[in-house]
């Protein structure tokens, strides 16, 4: 054991000073700003400060299918330009599609053309029958891999964009594994809105209404091949009842949301709530101009995530590159819609597979209860030790105070996250912290009973209990570390608090108490020990 008493006292004093410097900014706001900003702080877990934790599953298959269908549309357009008549277009498994051509050399020529035009597709000749031949196109594996990666990376980026505009302090948005995204929004108050904002695909499409198709037939399942049945949702402002109107629209989108430059919330003068004004970038404006010119007097449906918001008749060519989405929005709805349109759509739809939302009031309640339980628990343990071991118990209590101080400072230093189970971990660590001293004191008592001098008994007690203390700490530490490895969120907080508490206890229980006894023994050996 370390002999120099002054050395040990200095070490404890330095550690105490450092701990207080590190810890104060976490406990109170009344410290100078320069100090506060430089120090790491204990983070409060979502369960204590309130907030939203979301785990999203990215529908990558859907992203692959979407891309493949875009290729299919482009391929059909290319064929049309080259006067190759496409009889039918079909989706096939694993990100591919097939095109059917009439008999003749159409299919062979189409294969050659598509191969040249789309280097990222594998194009092969399918079955040749009497009534025609098919060309099969599939995305190359590298392309599919790129979509896979992009779906998650781009998804994270887009969600971050949306959250930044929504205004959340210190959000955490990270990819998890190959197809998951974890979103943590500490302190967010309007939780339902935040969740919807994150989870919305926000794919905006402009599609022509298929005037030729009958809605009645479509409802029975007879939808034309190049069209689809969608619904327009509208909410009656008086009764609040939602109605769904079916509508048949062309599958092909004339324009999508990725050409949007800005999206703003506006209020119309006649009442009727808020609407969102869009302006397109140059490319988008050009397309919009052409599309509106070609389709005057026809209805253009504005579709967001397969729901029609409005389907106005195009009165005249629109050249300014501006459009509006109306739909009796509340100001919040309109503002959120503008955010998602500005931030862009997710490359693939996501599904919320885990949602933990904690209201701020519950968080505060948990902190108060947890802290109260910790204080009462610590106080009872302190009183018990002082009652049972008298003076030695007070020495152990003194070590316990250092234990708690160093533990909290350690958590601040590592910017550890404090959760409700974490507070429980601290309470448990307090209970277990005195165990080392109990072990040592019981040993000292045994030595005193065997008629040793007080000084010799103390030394022997510490020596003999040393390995027992180490062994018992290591076993607890092993379980705590494993808990940390496999635990999630709050549980990790528990493991951190418990393992740090146990590790620090090894120092405080052995060094901080021994130095007191050594100091008292230094001038003249103690004759009696109150233990």
Partner 1 sequence: MIEIVKNTKIDFMGLKKYTFAISAFLVLLGFVGTVQIYRGKANLGIDLAGGTSIQLKFEKPFSMDAIRSLLAKAGHGEATLQEVSGENILLVKLRAGDKQDEKMIATPVVNLLRQSLPGNPFIVESVSEIGPAIGNKLRRDAELALLMSAIAIIIYLAWRFEFKFGVAATIATFHDIFTIVGIFWIFGIEKDLLFITALLTIGGYSLTDTVVVFDRIRENIRLRKMKTFSETINLSVNEVLSRTIITSVTVFIATISLLVFGGHVLRNFALALAMGIVIGTYSSVFVASPILALWRGEKMTDVKR
Residue 112 or 478 with smaller CB distance to partner 1:
478
* Distance (Å, whole) CA 452 – CA 457: 6
* Site for partner 1 contains 364 (CB under 8 A): no
Determine how many CB atoms are found less than 10 A away from the CB of residue 430.
Answer: 22
Site stretch for partner 1 (CB under 8 A), options 80-88, 203-211, 294-302, 431-439 = 431-439
Beta strands in 392-498 (DSSP E): 417-418
Q: How far is the CB of 466 from partner 1 (least distance, A)?
A: 11
Q: Kindly state the helix (H) or strand (E) to which residue 364 belongs, with its residue range.
A: helix 360-413
Q: How far is the CB of 491 from partner 1 (least distance, A)?
A: 5
Name the pairing type of β-strands 274-280 and 260-267: antiparallel
Q: Is the sign of the CA dihedral 257, 259, 262, 267 positive or negative?
A: negative
Name the pairing type of β-strands 204-208 and 227-235: unpaired
List binders of partner 1 among 177-216 (CB under 8 A).
Answer: 191-192
Tokens describing residue 464: 């003999």
Residue 213 or 378 with smaller CB distance to partner 1:
378
Place of tokens 């104060």: 24
* Site for partner 1 contains 424 (CB under 8 A): yes
Among 146, 483, 506, 511, binds partner 1 (CB under 8 A): 483
Residue 10 or 475 with smaller CB distance to partner 1:
475
Query: What is 268-323 written as a DSSP string?
Result: -TT-S-EEEEEEE-HHHHHHHHHHHHHTTTSBEEEEETTEEEE--B--S---S-EE
* Site for partner 1 contains 385 (CB under 8 A): yes
List all residues 6 or more positions away from 298 whose beta carbon is below 8 Å from its beta carbon: 208, 209, 211, 313, 314
Q: What is the DSSP letter of 510?
A: I
Among 37, 485, 523, 524, binds partner 1 (CB under 8 A): 485
Q: How far is the CB of 78 from partner 1 (least distance, A)?
A: 40
* Site for partner 1 contains 420 (CB under 8 A): yes
* Site for partner 1 contains 399 (CB under 8 A): no
Residue 77 or 478 with smaller CB distance to partner 1:
478
Among 13, 174, 482, 522, binds partner 1 (CB under 8 A): 482
Residue 112 or 371 with smaller CB distance to partner 1:
371
List binders of partner 1 among 37-66 (CB under 8 A).
Answer: 47, 55, 57
Site stretch for partner 1 (CB under 8 A), options 22-30, 292-300, 327-335, 423-431 = 423-431
Alpha carbon of 184 to those of 7, 343, 486: distances in Å? 46, 18, 19
Determine how many CB atoms are found less than 10 A away from the CB of residue 112.
Answer: 13
* Site for partner 1 contains 372 (CB under 8 A): yes
* Site for partner 1 contains 466 (CB under 8 A): no
């Amino acid at each position: 054991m370390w002999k120099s008493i002054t050395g040990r006292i200095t070490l404890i004093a330095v550690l105490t000073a450092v701990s207080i410097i590190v810890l104060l900014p976490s406990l109170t706001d009344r410290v100078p700003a320069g100090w506060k900003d430089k120090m790491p702080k204990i983070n409060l877990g979502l369960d204590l400060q309130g907030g939203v934790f979301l785990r999203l599953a990215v529908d990558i298959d859907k992203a692959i299918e979407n891309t493949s269908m875009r290729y299919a549309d482009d391929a059909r357009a290319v064929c049309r330009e080259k006067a190759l008549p496409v009889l039918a277009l079909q989706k096939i498994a694993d990100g591919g599609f097939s095109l059917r051509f009439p008999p003749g050399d159409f299919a062979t020529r189409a294969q050659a053309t598509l191969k040249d035009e789309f280097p990222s597709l594998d194009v092969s000749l399918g079955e040749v029958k009497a009534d025609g031949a098919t060309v099969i196109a599939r995305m190359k594996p590298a392309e599919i891999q790129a979509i896979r990666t992009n779906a998650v990376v781009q998804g994270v980026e887009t969600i971050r964009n949306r959250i930044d505009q929504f205004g959340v302090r210190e959000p955490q948005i990270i990819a998890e594994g190959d197809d998951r995204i974890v979103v943590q929004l500490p302190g967010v108050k309007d939780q339902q809105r935040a969740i919807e904002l994150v989870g919305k695909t926000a794919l905006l499409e402009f599609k022509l209404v298929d005037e030729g198709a009958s809605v009645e037939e479509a409802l029975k399942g007879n939808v034309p091949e190049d069209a689809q049945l969608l619904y327009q949702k509208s909410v009656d402002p008086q009764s609040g009842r939602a109605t769904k109107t079916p509508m048949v629209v062309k599958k092909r989108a004339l324009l999508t949301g990725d050409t949007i430059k800005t999206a703003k919330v506006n209020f119309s003068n006649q009442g009727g709530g808020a609407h969102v004004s869009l302006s397109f970038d140059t490319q988008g404006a050009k397309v919009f101009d052409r599309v509106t010119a070609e389709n005057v007097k026809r209805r253009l449906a504005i579709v967001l995530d397969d729901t029609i918001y409005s389907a106005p008749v195009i009165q005249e060519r629109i050249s300014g590159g501006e459009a509006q989405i109306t739909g009796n929005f509340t100001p919040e709805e309109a503002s959120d819609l503008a955010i998602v349109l500005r931030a862009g759509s997710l490359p693939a739809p996501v599904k919320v597979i885990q949602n933990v939302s904690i209201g701020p009031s519950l968080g505060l309640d948990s902190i108060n209860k947890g802290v109260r339980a910790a204080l009462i628990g610590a106080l009872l343990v302190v009183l018990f030790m002082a009652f049972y071991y008298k003076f030695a118990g007070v020495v152990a209590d003194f070590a316990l105070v250092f234990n708690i101080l160093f533990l909290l400072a350690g958590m601040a230093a590592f910017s550890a996250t404090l959760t409700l189970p974490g507070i429980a971990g601290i309470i448990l660590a307090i209970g277990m912290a005195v165990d080392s001293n109990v072990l040592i004191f019981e040993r000292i008592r045994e030595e005193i009973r065997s008629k040793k001098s007080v000084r010799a008994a103390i030394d022997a007690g510490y020596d003999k209990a040393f390995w027992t203390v180490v062994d018992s700490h290591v076993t607890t530490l092993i379980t705590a570390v494993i808990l940390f490895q496999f635990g999630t969120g709050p549980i990790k907080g528990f493991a951190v608090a418990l393992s740090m508490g146990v590790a620090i206890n090894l120092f405080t229980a052995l060094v901080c108490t021994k130095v007191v006894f050594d100091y008292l023994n230094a001038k003249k050996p103690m004759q009696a020990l109150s233990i």
